[in-house]
Amino acid sequence: MNDTPGWASPGSAPSGAKEPDSPGTPEPADQGGANPPEQPSKWSKEQPPPAQWSAPGAQTPPQAPPPAAPGPGWGGRPPGGQNGGYGGWSGAGRGGPGGPAGWGGNWGHQPAAARPGVIPLRPLGVGEILDGAVSTMRSYWRTVLGISLTVAVVTQVAVILLQGFVLDDNADTSALNDPSATVGELTRAMGSTLLSSGLVLLVTLLGTIVATALLTSVTSRAVIGKPVTTGEAWRDARPQLAKLFGLTLLLPLIAVAIMAVGALPGLLAVAAGSHDGGIALAVLGAFAAGFVALWLMIRFSLASPALMLEKQGILKSMRRSAKLVRGSWWRVFGIQLLATIIANIVASIIVIPFAVLAAALSGDGFAGFLDSSGGDLGWTFLIVSGIGSVIGSMITFPITAGVTVLLYIDRRIRREALDLDLARAAGLQDYGTETTGTTPGS
């Protein structure tokens, strides 16, 4: 973004930036919270003997109770101040305390951080990432719901017309439930089913790509408290749409190829005549390959926001995502899984009643809805169920896109101090520049 330094090109930390173990940019522990790096060991050496815990001030004067006018980092800073008060989260190495003084005696409360938009400018917790996605939808509901509604309506109309005029007339899947069907009939039925599913999936995928691109722009601006119109989001996202489409197609192809390679030895064994053993080997190989594919998909799960916000190419965005996810795979996986479950549950609460209503209003009723051998679903069913799908997509699009973008921002704050660039883009000119006292053991 033009008004957001460090986004179009990573700025303070480009793709070739030093790893978090280089001086000045330490990364806090992702898995176990936000413990300050390296300093706890030095801090522990200065503590008094166990018998003198009742009066630590006599043994370690620097750790006495806060004076009457504590310096920055004790939690009493104004929101736009320097962020060293939360210790090793993101302030270490940038002039802030970054040590135990930032945590003081209040273990259950994180010090205040600047919050120009929907998230505080510091490493985010799981709840803050989910809340940020919902806050974006609530604060900029006209733009977010306008984009989601437009994309969902266009996509669903295309799917309904495709199913009503093309697929239902050509789909003959009754052979799949006929034990006496010939091999040719089964092949034609399976081909028709795959064609129908593939075309619907392709149309849905195109809509998802457009919605993700536009909502990525909206969420990135919402982080710094700057609204964006639908037209501005479209102008910002349009140059990257083709690359985003290629990335979205490439990732599933990689997963399918990995699983095919895993199942290949078993398939070769079946072809060689070892039927039972070959099938078991193919299933086991595909199962093992599935874990490899899942691991790679999470490694590349932040490639989409990297491609859109940093204006990267497909392969560079994949490498960028792998670098950001490194060392935090389980955390990224857990947050993505949780967001997907929440979005699908909310969508199901809306879609299922519409599907039941559509079945009740259609000519065949529930019996026709439950009879999978029938190819013609009827216009009433398609339209009513399509309305439910549109409403469900209006909710799932912002949640899934918002969580992915905020995860990307969280990883860059932790590894590259992106909060400094975000603060400058938000107009907090003095953010992170004040000098403060030294930290014990620093």
Which residues neighbour 247 within 8 Å (Cβ) at sequence distance 6 or greater? 303, 304, 307, 314, 317, 318
Q: Would you say 364 and 380 are in contact if contact means Cβ atoms under 8 Å apart?
A: no
Higher-confidence residue of 113 and 137: namely 137
pLDDT for 377? 61
Average pLDDT over residues 409-429: 90
pLDDT greater than 50 at residue 225? yes
Q: What is the pLDDT of residue 169?
A: 53
Rounded to an integer, what distance in angstroms lies between the CA atom of residue 148 and that of residue 150?
6
Distance of CA 292 to the CA centre of its chain: 20
CA dihedral over 294, 300, 305, 308, signed as positive or negative: negative
* Positive/negative CA dihedral, 370, 374, 375, 377: negative
| Sign of the torsion formed by the C-alpha atoms of 310, 318, 219 and 333 | negative
Asked if residues 208 and 188 have their Cβ atoms less than 8 Å apart, the reply is: no
Phi, psi for residue 89 in degrees, rounded to 5: -60, -55
Alpha helices in 272-417 (DSSP H): 275-299, 303-309, 314-325, 329-361, 365-370, 379-416
d(CA 117, CA 394): 22
Position 274 confidence tier, pLDDT thresholds 50, 70, 90: confident
If pLDDT is split at 50, 70 and 90, which confidence band does 299 have? very high
78-82, 117-121, 287-291, 331-335: lowest mean pLDDT where?
78-82
Given a cut of 50, whether residue 323 has pLDDT beyond it is yes
Q: Report the mean per-residue pLDDT for the chain.
A: 73
Q: What is the pLDDT of residue 302?
A: 95
In residues, how long is the chain?
Answer: 442
| Model confidence at 71: pLDDT above 90 | no
Q: pLDDT, tens digit, for every residue of 191-223?
A: 677 777 777 788 888 888 999 999 999 999 999
Residue whose token pair is 């457009």: 210
Phi-psi region of 365 (alpha: psi -120 to 50; beta: other; left: phi over 0): left
Q: In which band, very low, low, confident or very high, does the pLDDT at 167 lie, cut at 50, 70 and 90?
A: low
Q: The tokens of 320 are what? A: 């960028």
CB atoms within 10 A of CB 263: 21
What are 122-149's pLDDT values in tens digits?
999 999 999 999 999 999 999 999 999 9
Distance of CA 38 to the CA centre of its chain: 30
The least confident of 80-94, 115-129, 134-148, 323-337 is 80-94
User: Which CA distances in Å does 51 have to 54, 59, 191, 299?
Assistant: 8, 11, 79, 49
pLDDT confidence band for 405 (50 / 70 / 90): very high
Give the pLDDT score at 74. Answer: 33
Position 87 pLDDT exceeds 50 = no
What is the C-alpha separation between 401 and 416, in angstroms, rounded? Answer: 22
